[in-house]
Amino acid sequence: MFKQLGPTEILLILGVVLLLFGGRKLPELARGSGRALRIFKSEIKEASDDDKPTAEQAREQRVVKPDPADDVPRRADPS
């Protein structure tokens, strides 16, 4: 779809945007779009990092948990 957009079409689109929003609003629009994209990327990265276990989580998974049978009180040996 976008392979058919040439330099002339892009300039035409930019000219229409300039006419619609004016020269003063364009830097604000670009700044806001950049911030939104940066936030979106960081959220996507954070979501993908949540799926991967960290080194600390991997160590915790490898730690042998104590056996619940060890918590059972034992009778004293009547020796």
DSSP string covering 3-64: GG--HHHHHHHHHHHHHHH-TTHHHHHHHHHHHHHHHHHHHHHHHHHHHSPPHHHHHHHHSP
The answer to whether residue 30 sits within a structural domain is yes
The answer to whether residue 68 sits within a structural domain is no
Residue 31 has pLDDT above 60, yes or no: yes
The answer to whether residue 73 sits within a structural domain is no
Residue 34 has pLDDT above 70, yes or no: yes
The answer to whether residue 45 sits within a structural domain is yes
Write down the mean pLDDT value for the chain: 79
Q: How many CA atoms lie within 13 A of 17 on its CB side?
A: 11
Q: How many domains does the chain have?
A: 1
With cut-offs at 50, 70 and 90, classify the pLDDT of residue 50. Answer: confident
Helices 7-21 & 25-51, crossing angle to 10 degrees? 110
Say which residue, 62 or 32, is predicted with more confidence.
32
Residue 55 has pLDDT above 80, yes or no: no
What pLDDT is recorded for position 48?
81
Q: How many CB atoms lie within 10 A of CB 65?
A: 6
The answer to whether residue 64 sits within a structural domain is no
Residue 58 has pLDDT above 70, yes or no: no
Domain that holds residue 33: 23-50
